[in-house]
Amino acid sequence: MVGVNTPESTTRHEVYGKEASNYTTSELEGKKVWLQKDVSNKDRYGRYLRLIWISVPSNVMNESEIRLKMFNAQLVLNGYAEPSTYQPDVTYSDYFVKFAREARSNNTGLWAYGENGTTKGDLDKSSSEPDTKKNNSSKDEVDTISSKSEEKETYKNCTELRTIYPEGVPSTHPAYDSKHDRDKDNWACEKSA
């Protein structure tokens, strides 16, 4: 799901991971959903990258509709996920940050465990926040999808990592490794200004 990171409940278990998994299953299993592509079609593993709508929106950029009809947003609003932004798929990142701040201020879900939640995301990073400039992709593309579990990516050095991710990666990315984050700003292999 584009733009969000939930606590793990697969090969490793993070606090509140089982609750997030159960919520997703109960809300989506056996139901018809509508999928929207942001910019990227698939990630490097061939997994489709999509936003999930539980009913078709009449305006995909209307905040009320996003809150009520987009499952990615509901995960964040209900404290089952926090924002996790990867370029170039940033169309809804400002909404997700806003929704996560609301959930955190209400100690909802994973935020009941503290102001840092229970999983890695990019809410309120003190330095090097991801660039969330809006893109010009079509918001009308809706299709079906299946997903696989997220895998860790490893690279020997920044030169190798930048062949795939020229701007580097945030700490929430599967390719992040602290040994590549020399300035400890939660962004590995970024290019110097």
Q: Looking at residues 64-70, what average pLDDT do you find?
A: 97
pTM: 0.64
**Mean pLDDT computed over 52-74:** 95
Q: What is the mean pLDDT of residues 64-88?
A: 94
Q: What 3-state DSSP class applies to 71? A: helix
Quote the percentage of the chain above a pLDDT of 70.
85
Q: Is the predicted pLDDT of residue 27 greater than 50, yes or no?
A: yes
CA distance 115 to 11: 25
CA distances to 35, 67, 101 from 98, in Å: 22, 11, 5
Neighbouring residues of 106: CB distance < 8 A, sequence distance ≥ 6: none
Q: How far apart are CA 37 and CA 2, in angstroms?
A: 9
- Highest averaged pLDDT of the listed ranges 12-21, 94-103, 144-153: 94-103
Secondary-structure breakdown of the chain: helix, strand, coil percentages, each rounded to the nearest 5: 30, 10, 60
Bridge partner residues of 13 (DSSP): 9
Which among 143, 142, 2 has a CA at the least distance from the CA of 72? 2
CB 83 within 8 A of CB 3: yes
Phi, psi for 169 (deg, rounded to 5)? -140, 150
Which alpha helices (H) appear in 119-185, and where do they start and end?
158-164
For the chain, first and last CA: distance in Å?
Answer: 31
Name the range with the highest mean pLDDT among 145-149, 151-155, 175-179: 175-179
C-alpha gyration radius of the chain = 16
Token code pair at residue 193: 């200004």
**For residue 146, which amino acid is it?**
S
The whole-number average pLDDT for the span 52-60 is 94
What pLDDT does 11 receive?
A: 75
- Integer Cα distance of 112 and 188 in angstroms: 29
**pLDDT (0 to 100) of residue 85:** 87
Q: Give the mean model confidence (pLDDT) for residues 126-142.
A: 39
- What CATH class does 4-143 carry? mainly beta
Query: Which tens digit of pLDDT belongs to each residue from 99-113?
Result: 999 999 999 988 888
131: which 2 tokens?
């660039």
What is the C-alpha to C-alpha distance for residues 163 and 78, in angstroms, rounded to an integer? 37
Question: What is the model's pLDDT at position 46?
Answer: 84
What are the tens digits of pLDDT across the range 153-172? Answer: 788 898 887 777 777 878 77
Q: Mean pLDDT check: name the lowest of 38-42, 120-124, 148-152, 154-158.
A: 148-152
Q: What residue spans define the domains of the chain?
A: 4-143, 158-188
pLDDT at 145 over 70: no
pLDDT the model gives residue 134: 39
